[in-house]
A and B are shown apart, each in its own frame.
Chain A
Amino acid sequence: MHETMVAQSLLATISDESAKQNAKPISAKISCGTLNAINNEVLCFAFEAIAKGTMCEGIKLEVEHKPIRGRCKNCKENFDVALPEPRCPKCDSGEFDLLPDAPLMLEEIEFETE
């Protein structure tokens, strides 16, 4: 449900960038971590609704979900932590520290070119 608020911030950020570029946006890539708890359909639906009638109407959103990352305590390798049995892919140790979650980012905007 918090996707509505995320969509509003996203719309504001894309609008700012588009004004700077003085161009019409056609698609945007965003990335997020697990704590952001983004549901793609909900976000796209919310964005579509609030973008109506703005310069962002109809733009396509692409969402990349970044996994939880861990750092092996044994060999210091960074890796994707995945259930059911998270293990270091390099040394097979099960001892690791969690790295900070990825933030919600607007990565890239594609603009119309004339």
Chain B
Amino acid sequence: MKVNVGKRILSANEEYALKNRQFLTERKILCLNMISSPGSGKTTILVRTINALKNEITIGVIEGDIQTDLDAEKIRATEAPVVQIETKGACHLSAAQVNTALNRLPTDNLDLIIIENVGNLVCPSAFELGETGKIAVLSVAEGDDKPVKYPAIFARSKVLLINKTDLLKVGAAVDFDIERAKADARKLNKGIEIFATSAKTGEGMAGWHNWLKKQVKNLQGA
């Protein structure tokens, strides 16, 4: 006997994601879910971005890590409010965890919350967190074929940051065709904003910062 069920398997997560989205919308807070492989430079980008925009927008951070709060320490040094979530082995953040973290952030004063998801290019995309949008980070050390190999995350991100571009100048150390990666990401996602950055030298970060400021302004209707 076959029975049609038609039930969403991740509905528990989706309910929390919806709650988070309502919470953020009511407060006009922009919320971005940063997804990448480990070591692409998410934390370094965050630190630089917080410092650069300190006088213009207030940023809060939710740090997801399998273990340790080393990244949260780095964010704390910027004086931005940060909540660390240790996932204890899980390869992604869940909307319920983000819900708890949102309640621990001083959300009355925030324009923008950036969630640094667990370092993993694949699994985090399966769990909506209630974010306004996803930001994919790809470092040039990882190879320019990633948008072709993992199309889903690039298709669903608002922004792609191609980071560690300083490594391309050191000589033949890294072989990465930025134009190829951009073209591949845009095949599925014509509207994606792409910035080539070096979080180390700061090169190319201005474009990303201006995008952030514009999004916050649009949301708050200022």
Contacts and interface: CB of A to CB of B under 8 A. Distances in A.
A83 B125 contact: no
Contacts of B91: 1-2
A105 B8 contact: yes
Interface of B: 1-10, 12, 14, 90-92, 94, 120, 122-123, 125-127, 148, 151-153, 155-156, 184, 187-190
A34 B1 CA distance: 30
A85 B148 CA distance: 11
B187 to A, nearest CB: 6
Interface in A35-77: 35-38, 68
A106 B187 contact: no
A7 B151 CA distance: 24
Contacts of B156: 35, 98, 101
Interface of A: 1-2, 5-6, 9-10, 13, 17, 21, 23, 30, 34-38, 68, 81, 83-86, 95, 98, 101, 103-113
B5 A81 contact: no
A86 B5 contact: no
14 contacts: A2-B92, A17-B7, A37-B152, A38-B126, A68-B151, A83-B184, A83-B187, A95-B190, A98-B188, A104-B8, A104-B126, A108-B4, A109-B5, A110-B1
